[in-house]
A = this chain, B = another copy of it.
């Protein structure tokens, strides 16, 4: 009844921004992303036991208060797993973000993907990626894409019960191994609006949102085609336009949601200049000001240098495309009785486990 998994973030090129079902986390449209390699990863161990009086959760060694409403919602997948497995045991969960820096890339996607894998495995369920992705989706929509490696689509689905809204691999990491994502961390002092609250506001108030929804199916088709053809020029332009399209409907939300800052804009301008003779780099921004610049292996160094020269960019990091979650046989964060293994958490954030 113990399992440990590692999972990695995914960075969308067609973004998820809006739900058609708040409880089941069903999206208004499909989305597409690359799952990142292990440059950034989250490790999670789950143990079930009849002895536990309640579910408990340790994140980076700190016990987390599960009475918080949003945290409780994110863990609803535990009840689904117990129902499927026919057990009532409570769970101990320990999770550790193994990031090379303290840059704050805490990724709910990586965390929820690792949790879905570990919690279902520890409960004795043998799920396929589609089923696991639906569990992850219940914790954090975009997490469902991190259950698979390579280039991944989250299918919108049409059913009310969510049974056709899952992630599917479009192409494995080996299809386009040259793809890199250069992350540019920028100074940001502004308070962040949570994605969950923000996208709800957008769906409710943006005058432009329906036009975005009308645009996305064709974009998803074109983006998949570009990736399958390894056509970076098309992929890059579509990626940048899609990022701005999402931030446009965020701005058009009432009250407005403003994630991009002047440093983000500087990155956009610098990338556009870098691309003067053809698109070789493509920015995309999630619900925050940090830039993710997709490029290819032979340009990654030049892109990183270009980004490092922008005032306000405090740190850069180059990721490749990864293979999705993997099960670990050693390096558990909890012992078999569900007790935290202290030395597992004593490692600094700067050290990636082996």
Kindly provide the distance from the CB of A205 to the nearest chain B CB, expressed in whole angstroms. 8
- Is B241 a contact of A254 with CB atoms below 8 Å? yes
- The answer to whether A265 touches B254, judged by C-beta atoms less than 8 angstroms apart, is no
Residue of B nearest to A272 (CB): B255
Contact of A207 among B245, B252, B268 (CB under 8 A): B245
Q: Does A195 contact B (CB under 8 A)?
A: no
Q: Which residues of B contact A252 (CB under 8 A)?
A: 208, 241, 244-245, 248
Interface positions, chain A 166-204, Cβ under 8 Å from B, are: 190
Interface SS of A by simple majority: helix
User: Does the CB pair A247–B255 fall under 8 Å?
Assistant: no
Encode contact with B along A258-272: 1 for CB under 8 Å, 0 otherwise: 100110010011001
A210 (CB) vs chain B CBs: closest residue: B211
The complex places the Cα of A255 from the Cα of B190 at a distance, in Å, of: 26
Alpha-carbon gap, A269 to B256, bound state (A): 9
Q: Are B256 and A251 in contact (CB under 8 A)?
A: no
**Complex Cα spacing A26 to B251, Å:** 27
* CB of A326 within 8 Å of the partner chain: no
At the interface, yes or no: A327 with Cβ under 8 Å from chain B? no
Per-residue B-contact encoding for A229-264, CB less than 8 Å = 1, 0 else: 000000001001100110111011111101001100
Min CB–CB distance A122 → chain B (angstroms): 45
Could you say which of B244, B256, B262 contacts A261, with CB atoms under 8 Å apart? B262
Which chain B residue has the least Cβ–Cβ distance from A209?
Answer: B211
* Residue of A241, A252, A269 with most chain B CB atoms under a 10 A cut-off: A252
Q: How far is the CA of A252 from the CA of B212 in the complex (A)?
A: 10
Question: What's the minimum C-beta distance from A218 to chain B, rounded to whole angstroms?
Answer: 9
Report A268 CB to chain B, min CB distance, Å.
6
Beyond A256-B268, A261-B265, 15 additional contacts (C-beta under 8 Å) are A207-B212, A208-B212, A208-B248, A211-B211, A237-B254, A240-B256, A241-B252, A241-B254, A247-B251, A248-B249, A251-B251, A255-B272, A258-B265, A258-B269, A262-B262
